Structure 1
Amino acid sequence: MVDIREVPEADIDRAQELAYLVFHDRPEPEGRRRHHALLTRCARLGAYDGAALVGFMAAHDFRLSVPGGELGCPGLTFVSVAPTHRRRGVLTALMDEQLRRAASAGSPLVALWASEAAIYGRFGYGAATQGLTIEIDSGRPLALRIAPDPRPLRLVAPEDALAVIGPRHEVARTERAGRPSRSTQRWNEEWLCEQDEEDDELGPPRIIVLGDPGEPVAGYVLFRTKPEDDAAGPGRTPGLVRVDELEADTPAVAAALWDCVASLDLTGRVRAWGRPADDPLLHFAADRDQVRVTAQFPALWLRLVDVRAALTARGWAAPVEVVLDLSDVRRPANAGRFRLKAGPAGAAWEPARADPDLTLDVRELAACYLGGTLMTELVAAGLVTERTPGAAAALDAALRTDVLPHTADEF
């Protein structure tokens, strides 16, 4: 029987070693230092078998952008169970206690990135956003169907970047749901750090912004580069531009930024991981053989801790009134039959006795919550039962957002 309790700072090194064991990781000293600093700022929960730490999870103190605003949303990370204690209920005990603590703290949502997609559905998490990897063959000029914004581009030093691009990033969070808040430490230790944690061959962060001097930036691109692989012989790999983030006020601004990174000297490939599924580049690129989607994957996984609080706090695009028969084996307070009456003026969530229009699990409701998954698709997949024809489509119309939810903030 394991004991679930808070992990003191004195045990952070032990927690790191457990995570490195589970994830088959061997970070360099600088990476270990960054992880330690990060964990000191996180809430920490451990499973102890006697004196041994056999399970661990940490939670960032995030606020998550949702349609119409933002909500408190712990971001789980470093979730790990010792190989000696797998299939003994350790992860379940950690997850249940974490949900209990989130509810007690008034956080209606919890989020994570899944190392294995098969794990977290059973705890009520649904894949709420999708990410794309986009690759550009930049060995030739980028062909575009629209004219790039002609305003000037300029480089910004990493030490000045937060003051320059931070405000534009905050605007982007209001424009797309699903984006966690970023602290100054997170900016500096993950996005703007000199050495990339995943690939030591990549150079330091480079930041290019677009806009007239003295005006707020209209867009920015944050990227790193890797030189050509000379050791590969005649078929050597051309230099790489890895785009970590690109934000733009308009398609023309985005076109100017993509054109800029695709025209960097001594490079022949641009790779952008974690782009939104509705990225305008995929439409204004003139040659889709040159601009290709090479991967699509579930990104942010969301858990509704308090369904009523979550639904009544978000904005709604259209009126809807449906009765949902909702199951939630881990949070019984969420389970039951409820009437959702929502619209642009607000929402109400109350117990109901009427026959349900839709029967579903909290996992499916979480997947749809940000507007990134259609309820009608889940009905078609057999995961939601539609008892009143048209109910799923009506709920989709109410949940709809102008742009798809998206984040590249992996944690």
Structure 2
Amino acid sequence: MLDIREVPEADIDRALELAYLVFHDRPGKEGRARHHEMLRHCVRIGAYDGGRVVGFMAAHDFRLSVPGADLPCPGLTFVSVAPTHRRRGVLTALMGEMMRRATSAGSPIAALWASESAIYGRFGYGGATQGATIEIDSSRPLALRIEADRRPLRMVDPEDAVAVVGPYHEAARATRAGRPARTGWRWTEEWLTEEDEEDDELSPPRIIALGDPGEPVAGYVLYRTKPESTGAAAGPDRTPGLVRVYELEADTPAVAAALWECVASLDLTGRVHAWGRPADDPLLHFAADRDQVRVTGAFPALWLRLVDVAAALTARSWAAPVELVLELTDARLPANAGLFRLKAGPGGAAYEPAAGRAPDLTLDVRELAACYLGGTRAVELVAAALVVEHTPGAAATSTRS
């Protein structure tokens, strides 16, 4: 019989070995040390079979930006089940324990980035934000439809990044839902490590900020570079030098234009790759040549779980008045299921049982999670037959809010 319990610090390396087995990974000494240190700061849940760790799940202690608020939100990571114990309820048990702990800690939501998106819907997670992979052919100057901000650009030493761009990142979180807060430790140990964990050919991190000297930065870009592939190993066609953009934040489209223009003009490079950009990135509109700036991938980015629906709906802000009766299903957390009346607006929100009322919308907690941050519109889910609209216009009303 499996024993679901907290993983002590002494078992972290055993849990990591399981994760490396499951994800077919083989990090070096520094990567292992970084993972170990990361997990020391996480909630850790394990499934034990006779003393062996056969399932593992950890959760970062995040705060996540949601419309008008910032909520505690465990961020799941290293979700692993041994090949010998698949389809035996291990993941279900781990998820159940993690949700129980989130409820006890007063976290109304939980989130993750999914390595396999087919897994998490059955646990009530919905794709709450949409991401895009953007590639720029930078073998020629980046063509823009707007004038770039011409204030000075400056390099920021990674050692100064937390002080220089950390506050800017924190302020920018409030402008877009679905972004976790970042501690100084997370900056240095995840974003600013000397080597990229997935590609050791990439340079150390580089940061360029825009703004007049002595003034707060108006935007920044965090990137790494890779030189052109040459020689016999590269084959008959050389691969041009690469700029990999990890993060680009800007006060205005003009600032963003200046930063994109900068990374697209770096010497000895011919392409820019940016993964996980917002699906509505302004670059896709102000780029003058969409053959030069292409979306090469689109995917659900952050997956969200509403652990306590009432607390989640009443904690966020609502831009416009809405009053709906929701018929909600939740196979994992029955307390969320039933008929509820949501009445919300700029002044606040109330969510209460509405037994005997006719529903305006019928949906599962997964679909509600997908709509919660505004990344998915309820009308799209009605069109996909995932939400049932009993009252005409109800889905559009919820989308406006």
Alignment of 1:234-273 (within 5 A): 234-273=236-275
Counterpart CA distance in 1 for 2:385 and 2:57 is: 33
Alignment of 1:81-96 (within 5 A): 81-96=81-96
Give the deviation of 1:50 after TM superposition: 1.6
- What CA deviation, in whole Å up to 9, does each residue of 1:124-182 have, x standing for no partner? 00000111010000000000011110100000111011110011101110100000111
List, as ranges, runs of 4+ consecutive aligned residues in structure 1 with deviation greater than 4 Å. Answer: none
Q: 1:358 aligns with which of 361, 364, 388?
A: 361
- What CA deviation, in whole Å up to 9, does each residue of 1:187-222 have, x standing for no partner? 001111111101000000000000001110000000
1:335 aligns with 2:307: no
Partner SS for 1:197 = coil
Counterpart CA distance in 1 for 2:250 and 2:44 is: 36
- Structure 2 match to 1:102: 102
- Structure 2 match to 1:14: 14
Root mean square deviation, CA, Å: 0.7
Alignment of 1:86-165 (within 5 A): 86-165=86-165
Give the deviation of 1:280 after TM superposition: 0.4
- Structure 2 match to 1:386: 389
- What CA deviation, in whole Å up to 9, does each residue of 1:315-353 have, x standing for no partner? 111101000000111111111000000111110001002
Counterpart CA distance in 2 for 1:222 and 1:98 is: 33
TM normalised by structure 1 equals 0.96
Counterpart CA distance in 2 for 1:244 and 1:114 is: 18
Percentage identity across aligned positions?
80
Partner SS for 1:365 = helix
- What CA deviation, in whole Å up to 9, does each residue of 1:79-132 have, x standing for no partner? 001111100001001101110110011000000111111101110000001110
Partner SS for 2:139 = coil
- Structure 2 match to 1:27: 27
- Structure 2 match to 1:396: 399
Give the deviation of 1:233 after TM superposition: 4.9
Counterpart CA distance in 2 for 1:25 and 1:124 is: 28
Counterpart CA distance in 1 for 2:391 and 2:308 is: 25
Q: 1:305 aligns with which of 304, 307, 315?
A: 307
Flag the 1:82–1:233 CA change in 2: closer, same or farther, 3 A. Answer: closer
- Structure 2 match to 1:280: 282
Partner SS for 1:62 = strand
Aligned residue identity for 2:155: L
Gaps of 5+ in 1: 399-411
Aligned residue identity for 1:330: R
- Structure 1 match to 2:55: 55
- What CA deviation, in whole Å up to 9, does each residue of 1:8-67 have, x standing for no partner? 000001000000001110011111010000001101000011211110000000000000
Aligned residue identity for 2:50: G
Give the deviation of 1:185 after TM superposition: 1.1
Give the deviation of 1:234 after TM superposition: 4.8
Aligned residue identity for 2:368: L
- Structure 2 match to 1:216: 216
- Structure 2 match to 1:77: 77
- Would you say how many aligned residue pairs link Structure 1 and Structure 2? 398
- What CA deviation, in whole Å up to 9, does each residue of 1:206-261 have, x standing for no partner? 00000001110000000000000012255200000000000000000000000000
- Structure 1 match to 2:375: 372
Partner SS for 1:170 = helix
Counterpart CA distance in 1 for 2:71 and 2:186 is: 19
Partner SS for 1:72 = strand
TM normalised by structure 2 equals 0.98
Counterpart CA distance in 2 for 1:310 and 1:318 is: 17
Counterpart CA distance in 1 for 2:22 and 2:340 is: 41
Partner SS for 1:73 = strand
- Structure 2 match to 1:321: 323
Gaps of 5+ in 2: none
Counterpart CA distance in 1 for 2:386 and 2:203 is: 45
Aligned residue identity for 1:246: L
Counterpart CA distance in 2 for 1:141 and 1:53 is: 53
1:196 aligns with 2:183: no
Counterpart CA distance in 2 for 1:101 and 1:317 is: 31
